[in-house]
Amino acid sequence: MTDRLGGGARRKRPTMRDVAREAGVALRTVSRVVNDDPTVGAHLVSRVRAAITALDYAPDERAQQLRRGTSGTIGAAVRNLADAHPVLSAVDNASRARGLAVLAMSTEDDEAREREAVMSMCRRRVDGIVIEPIGMFHDYLSAEVAAGMPLVAVDRPCGGVEADAVLSDNAAGIGMAYRQLSVHGHRRIAYIGDDERIFTGRERAAAFRACVAASGGPLSGMVHPGTVTASRVAAALASVLSGPTPATALITGNVATTIEALRYLGADAGRLALVGFDDFPLADILRPALTVVAQNSAEIGRTAIDLLVARAADPARPVQTVTVPVELIARGSGELPPPSA
Amino acid sequence: MTDRLGGGARRKRPTMRDVAREAGVALRTVSRVVNDDPTVGAHLVSRVRAAITALDYAPDERAQQLRRGTSGTIGAAVRNLADAHPVLSAVDNASRARGLAVLAMSTEDDEAREREAVMSMCRRRVDGIVIEPIGMFHDYLSAEVAAGMPLVAVDRPCGGVEADAVLSDNAAGIGMAYRQLSVHGHRRIAYIGDDERIFTGRERAAAFRACVAASGGPLSGMVHPGTVTASRVAAALASVLSGPTPATALITGNVATTIEALRYLGADAGRLALVGFDDFPLADILRPALTVVAQNSAEIGRTAIDLLVARAADPARPVQTVTVPVELIARGSGELPPPSA
DNA sequence: ATGCTTCCGGATAACGTTATCCCACGCTGA
DNA sequence: TCAGCGTGGGATAACGTTATCCGGAAGCAT
């Protein structure tokens, strides 16, 4: 499994020692020049720089990291690398702005893989970890956290370990979606979303139930949480659309559900009002264009890095959970009127 | 810019020395256990392992890397981290299967940023670099390549440096698209795509011209390469659709162009036959569903890692360019008949 | 007893950096 | 002339591993 690279006899890279020899100065002086130590004369600086470019010398960051104790890298364990991942992108940007690189690994929604990825990051002594947690229990991380590894969860909190978290305001988002549909005349509103064993699935379903209760709408048969598969979404949709008083509007709890719902509805998509939780590229070119509750990915990523840096600076600071506001983007599908009965 | 982390007084992590003391064995023995050296007795192995779990010891990979000379990491400089990136995902998978981690950085289509990202990877002494090149000239990489850094370009070749490359069969893909439209009765077929300064834009436009020439169709006013902006695509589309003999079918040269074309066409999308180069999520839930030429991202990523490993094993092997076949996925938009004149 | 493995410890040198301490200059200002 | 500086070299110890060479101590067969 681990047949590391490096079998070949690649040409040896120049080291500081080589540069020192080339420039005719002491090793110490090269180090000073590389680290912009001001106590070295302009004459020598230029000679050293010349030697550096002549030899194509680039300092070995592994050695620097070992020596300095910091790796200048943060790990990002995200669920998926293949699909669009705006949060990862924001994390990347925020990290770069601080001179940090991002070691991104995909967990593919697999707990074992998540653990493996995170542990690998720890062995690399990353300066912090951003995690989009999969499982409920992350006890295996508590040792690392206790050892001072800054850890911040995004999208969902980490269970079993005290860690900072940055979450979207799920309840407010569902509220916005529900209100939008109500305002446009809908009374019978259904919800299909993630399994309630998943944090966001739980929060969003609960918020939906609260909305229905507050507005006095019908609840029975209207809430369908569960694993997101084509068949389950189709069954749920068929159920809420059948009977004497079918739902006239739908809220979907995540992108995957939204897509499956659209796939099932096909050409009938224009006859059911729909608001999806979470935006995605191309939502605006569907017909009707999709009304969504958009998470502020840029803000989430930025905040995650902020929290990471803050914790690295002060490991003793209290654990913090930041809730990032969401936004309703009306594009048409959520503004469809109920069929005039 | 580079205010690295690590200000806080994090608890010191246990080292091999600590484990040795805890287990009452020699440092050397701990190293043997960690590296699964068979020459150590079962009794001591279990004692060392107990000490390891008692102290929550995890070897410092930075030190291992420095010592071993390999970093167990490959760098991936891709154009975009926010959007779907199936090739990156495939690279991640193929790397993991070999025990390698992926250091992903986004270049955001910016040459300076690409250079910065790649150089940062080199300083980290990654075992190889997968790059989705932006600019035409990558001379700054030749020193690294000469120093033995395995480098493989995906999607486009690297200019100015001898590097392996994995490309899609652009000409064949355009040919498939053209043939599909011809078969369905189209004679006046237009092409809108990327700027011809970009490798793929050049290849695809050229292939399109060749197809037209081979089939004896009209060419004048039918080819519109250029930077992909909403306004340019709209103008090109307006142009090919106007006049006495408008185009009845369209080939778009990349995803961005496809999207812009769909945005412009809006509700009229069903009246123009369309084949897009490159697949994307959700292409199947559009109406009409989008016929595309799909690149084999999984194969591309796998091949890239294969080439990387092969070059690491034998730096002297001849540079190789692998062309990966593409596939036409008929979903409806490319099978629309021309308006019966 | 003598040999010959097998298992383990000890010491030490790397890997490429950074940092510390000290010393040797060549200046300047009194 | 001597103290006080700014500039640079030299030596050396880290950082946490791995690897090499050696030596000792068993265990077992000759």
Residue B183 and residue B280 in one domain: yes
B121 in any annotated domain: yes
Residue B114 and residue B263 in one domain: no
pLDDT (0 to 100) of residue B11 = 59
Residue B252 and residue B202 in one domain: yes
A2 in any annotated domain: no
**CATH assignment of the domain containing A134:** 3.40.50.2300
Q: How many domains does chain A have?
A: 3
pLDDT (0 to 100) of residue B280 = 94
Specify whether the CB–CB gap between A170 and A327 falls below 8 A. no
pLDDT (0 to 100) of residue A1 = 40
> B114, B255, B285: best mutation site toward chain A, by most A Cβ within 10 Å?
B285
Sequence-ordered strand ranges (E) for B81-220: 101-106, 128-131, 151-154, 164-168, 189-193
Please answer yes or no on whether B308 and A1 come within 8 Å at the CB atom.
no
Domain ranges, residue B313: 71-168+297-324
Interface of B with A in 20-49 (CB under 8 A): none
CA distance B118 to chain A (A): 11
**CATH assignment of the domain containing A23:** 1.10.260.40
Residue B158 and residue B301 in one domain: yes
- For chain B, the average pLDDT equals 92
Q: How confident is the model at residue B160 (pLDDT cuts 50, 70, 90)?
A: confident
Residue B113 and residue B192 in one domain: no
A67 in any annotated domain: no
Which of B62, B105, B282 lies closest to A125 in CB terms?
B62
Residue A156 and residue A85 in one domain: yes
pLDDT (0 to 100) of residue B159 = 87
pLDDT (0 to 100) of residue B129 = 97
Residues of chain A with pLDDT under 50: 1-4, 6-10
If you compute the radius of gyration of chain A from its CA atoms, what whole number of angstroms results? Answer: 26
Q: Is B9 on the interface with A (CB under 8 A)?
A: yes
CA angle A136, A141, A147 (to 5 degrees): 155
Checking if the pLDDT of B3 tops 80, the result is no
Mean pLDDT of B202-210: 98
Residue B237 and residue B272 in one domain: yes
Nearest CA in chain A to B148: A10
Residue B187 and residue B81 in one domain: no
Please answer yes or no on whether A92 and B98 come within 8 Å at the CB atom.
no
pLDDT (0 to 100) of residue A206 = 98
Please answer yes or no on whether B66 and A68 come within 8 Å at the CB atom.
no
Q: Is B243 on the interface with A (CB under 8 A)?
A: no
Q: Is A218 on the interface with B (CB under 8 A)?
A: no
Residues of A in contact with B7 (CB under 8 A): 312-314
Checking if the pLDDT of B8 tops 50, the result is no
Spell out a b/e string for A170-201, using b for 16 or more CB atoms within 10 Å of the CB, else e: bbbbbbbbbebbeebebebbbbbbbebebbbb
How far: B68 CA to C13 C1' (Å)?
14
Residue A144 and residue A207 in one domain: no
Residue B184 and residue B285 in one domain: yes
pLDDT (0 to 100) of residue A296 = 98
Residue with tokens 């989009």: A132
Query: How does strand B249-252 pair with strand B101-106?
Result: unpaired
The amino acid present at A124, given as its one-letter code, is: R
Residue A83 and residue A54 in one domain: no
Distance from C-alpha of B174 to C-alpha of B184, rounded to nearest angstrom = 16
Residue with tokens 């890239």: B304
Task: Name the residue among B191, B199, B198 with its Cα closest to residue B220.
Answer: B191
B66 in any annotated domain: no
Checking if the pLDDT of B6 tops 80, the result is no
Count Cβ atoms below 10 Å from residue B221 Cβ, excluding itself: 15
Residue B203 and residue B242 in one domain: yes
B9 in any annotated domain: no
Protein-covered nucleotides on strand D (Cβ within 7 A): 6-12, 14-21
